[in-house]
Amino acid sequence: MWKKLENYYWTLKYLKKSQLFYLVKHRLEHAQRARTKGDSPKTDELPLWIHRMDAHPEYISRFCADEILAGQVTLLHESGKPGGKNWKEPKKSHLWNFNLHYMEYLLPLAAAYQKEKDAAYYTCFRKLCQKWIQDNQEGTGDGWHPYTISLRLTNLWICMDGFGAVFGKDHIFAQELKDSMYAQYVHLQKKQELHLLGNHYFENLKTVLLGSLYFREPDIYNQYKRKLQKELQEQILSDGVHYERSLMYHKIILEDLMRVAKAVRQPDPCFYGELTDILQKMADALWSLERDMGRTLLFNDAGDNVAKPMDSLLDGLGAEFAIFPKQEGQRAFPDAGYYCLGNDRIRLVLDAGEIAPPYMPGHGHCDGLSFELALNGKPLFVNSGTGQYQGSLRSYFRSTRAHNTVVVDGEEQSMCWGEHRVGKRMRAVSGSLGHDWVGGRLTACTGKRHARRIGLREDMVVIRDRIKGHGAGYLHLAPEYAYRLQGQSVLVMDQKGKHVCSIQMQPEDRIQIHREGELCQYAPEFGRTEQIQVLEFLWEGDGTEHEIKIRFL
């Protein structure tokens, strides 16, 4: 009871005053039904299709067009059929149901139509849109949540542009769809997610701005342009990283801005110039952090199979805007708290940043001073990922021990609770780097301090930690590798039994290799969890340096 009250106190303490007001307003208005029918005004074309991104082979491979033609979709590695009252599938997770309403799976239909000119793909698009309209007439449920509206409307505009003339000639259906979209657009303006802010509010603003161009409402456009510019100043840090410090959400926001930039290029060239400057910064940050790491970095809520892959985003940026990341990259992102280290074989990224924006920590993890390391472009030491937003593993994925860092005296860095809440949290977090090292320090919410410095010398990584108290360090191994204990050293072997590297511990360390259980859960993608091996090393810290060495062959 008292613990729960304490968590509420610290959670509410960091919220903006405006959030508290809109939180109450949201609760009072939550049960209100949306008006599901509207009369669309005349519309303009909205050019949002970016072929090099939307039809990129790596992205399109997530979907099976033939499966969609058969009336089934696979989302987050789980299949289901769109349909029924409010498109509610009780046996699926809330996140899966949300994804169903995004209707992103319509994009591969447009890509397939462009490639094959088979009318079946357009017919399926029309059928699914009409079915959504028919089954969601109540104005309640996930389909009328402002976030699902924001993503769905954008995806529909992209598809309409992608199908091109065949949609433009289908006048009766086009008007039916536009009327429904206008009702959603009007509802979205009344239901901004001001109680949450962050990426949710950004999606709301982006979509209304696009809608104002499509439905020819210049006053709405000017109003939401100012709001979006204000959010950009806050949400895109000066080092180019999105302020929720998740590379997955960074990529989602990057794509959003690409859509907006393409839409405003002709009607508002000045705003277009502002956006391309931001796109360049975000592209530079994405390339610098993710290149040669093999997948989306698993800091905070992140994973593949949600945002578009880096390669598709960069291909789209180059083809559409002539924006290319600086190939030399950068090593320090002091605002976000990420620091990079590497050579021709080894790349390492350290997280020495705050858990999240103070008032929007729902996607934050206890990953302070954790790192991810890739060898020859493939993940080797990994954080555990996210996997799910609801379910029994949610609290584990956000915990300190789920990351390549140190738990001091068994206490969490921050009090993550519920599905998306953080109470009392770590503080005094800072990072630094030198020519061949990266480092950082933090104070956990309980007052426990941790300082870490990681150096790289040719083929050896040296990790030095300073703590006072009982230390439990963790090294989570990618699923393609296995540990083997050999005296006071631990060997890392690949699937063929080849020795990859050895980890030299301190003589007094107690070592345990975990091969099953909760600690071995790993989710590189949302909806997919697999077992990995985790090395745990225990020692008693007296404030002096504790060192382990990783030697690569």
In three-state secondary structure terms, 162 is helix
Question: What percent of the chain lies above the pLDDT cut of 90?
Answer: 95
What CATH number should be reported for the domain whose range is 40-193?
Answer: 1.50.10.100
**Per-residue pLDDT, 249:** 98
In three-state secondary structure terms, 548 is strand
**Per-residue pLDDT, 487:** 81
* CA-angle at 540, arms to 535 and 543, nearest 5°: 115
Domain ranges in the chain are 40-193, 332-552
Q: Mean pLDDT over residues 118-144, rounded?
A: 97
Q: Which element (helix H / strand E) includes 341?
A: strand 338-342
Where are the extended beta strands (E) located within 107-248?
A: none
**Per-residue pLDDT, 528:** 94
Q: Mean pLDDT over residues 377-386, rounded?
A: 98
Would residue 167 be called left, alpha or beta, if left means φ above 0 and alpha means ψ between -120 and 50 degrees?
Answer: alpha
* 197 — pLDDT class (breaks 50, 70, 90): very high
* Cβ-contact 336, 364 below 8 angstroms: no
- Residue 1 above 90 pLDDT? no
Please list, in sequence order, all residues whose beta carbon lies within 8 angstroms of the beta carbon of residue 427, skipping any fewer than 6 positions away. 442, 443, 445
Identical fold at 40-193 and 332-552? no
- Residue 2 above 80 pLDDT? no
**Per-residue pLDDT, 349:** 98
Tokens representing 439 are 């480092």
Question: What's the rounded Cα separation, in Å, for the pair 398 and 103?
Answer: 28
What per-residue string of b and e applies to 71-80 under the rule 16 or more CB within 10 Å gives b? Answer: eebebbebeb
**Per-residue pLDDT, 328:** 83
Q: Mean pLDDT over residues 141-162, rounded?
A: 98
Would residue 99 be called left, alpha or beta, if left means φ above 0 and alpha means ψ between -120 and 50 degrees?
Answer: alpha
Alpha helices, DSSP H, located in 14-117 = 17-29, 51-54, 57-60, 65-69, 94-102, 107-116
In three-state secondary structure terms, 405 is coil
Q: Mean pLDDT over residues 387-401, rounded?
A: 94
* 4 — pLDDT class (breaks 50, 70, 90): confident
In the chain, the N- to C-terminal Cα span, in Å, equals: 53
What's phi and psi for 408, nearest 5 deg?
-105, 125
Q: Mean pLDDT over residues 81-100, rounded?
A: 95
Quote the crossing angle between the two packed helices 146-163 and 247-264, to the nearest 10°: 50
**Per-residue pLDDT, 48:** 98
Question: Hey, what amino acid is at 158?
Answer: I
CB atoms within 10 A of CB 48: 22
Tens digit of pLDDT for each residue in 483-540? 999 887 999 999 999 999 999 999 999 999 999 999 999 999 999 999 999 999 999 9
Beta bridge partners of 505: none
Q: Mean pLDDT over residues 386-413, rounded?
A: 96
Average pLDDT, the chain: 96
Question: What's the rounded Cα separation, in Å, for the pair 550 and 553?
Answer: 10
Tens digit of pLDDT for each residue in 41-70? 999 999 999 999 999 999 999 999 999 999
Question: What's the rounded Cα separation, in Å, for the pair 405 and 454?
Answer: 12
**Per-residue pLDDT, 373:** 98
In three-state secondary structure terms, 78 is strand
**Per-residue pLDDT, 3:** 82
Tens digit of pLDDT for each residue in 71-84? 999 999 999 999 99
Q: How is residue 406 annotated by DSSP?
A: E
> Taking the CA of residue 197 as centre, how many other CA atoms within 13 Å lie in the half-sphere pointing to its CB?
23
- Residue 409 above 90 pLDDT? yes
**Per-residue pLDDT, 451:** 98
Tokens representing 210 are 């696009």
Instruction: Give domain 332-552's CATH number out of 2.70.98.70, 3.40.50.150, 3.40.640.10, 1.10.3720.10.
Output: 2.70.98.70
CB atoms within 10 A of CB 512: 12
Q: How many residues are there in the chain?
A: 553
Tens digit of pLDDT for each residue in 324-344? 999 888 999 999 999 999 999
Tens digit of pLDDT for each residue in 210-256? 999 999 999 999 999 999 999 999 999 999 999 999 999 999 999 99
**Per-residue pLDDT, 403:** 98
What's phi and psi for 467, nearest 5 deg?
-145, 165
Tens digit of pLDDT for each residue in 158-191? 999 999 999 999 999 999 999 999 999 999 999 9
Question: What's the rounded Cα separation, in Å, for the pair 393 and 530?
Answer: 12
Question: What's the rounded Cα separation, in Å, for the pair 355 and 179?
Answer: 42
pTM: 0.97
Question: What's the rounded Cα separation, in Å, for the pair 367 and 201?
Answer: 25
Question: What's the rounded Cα separation, in Å, for the pair 218 and 223?
Answer: 9
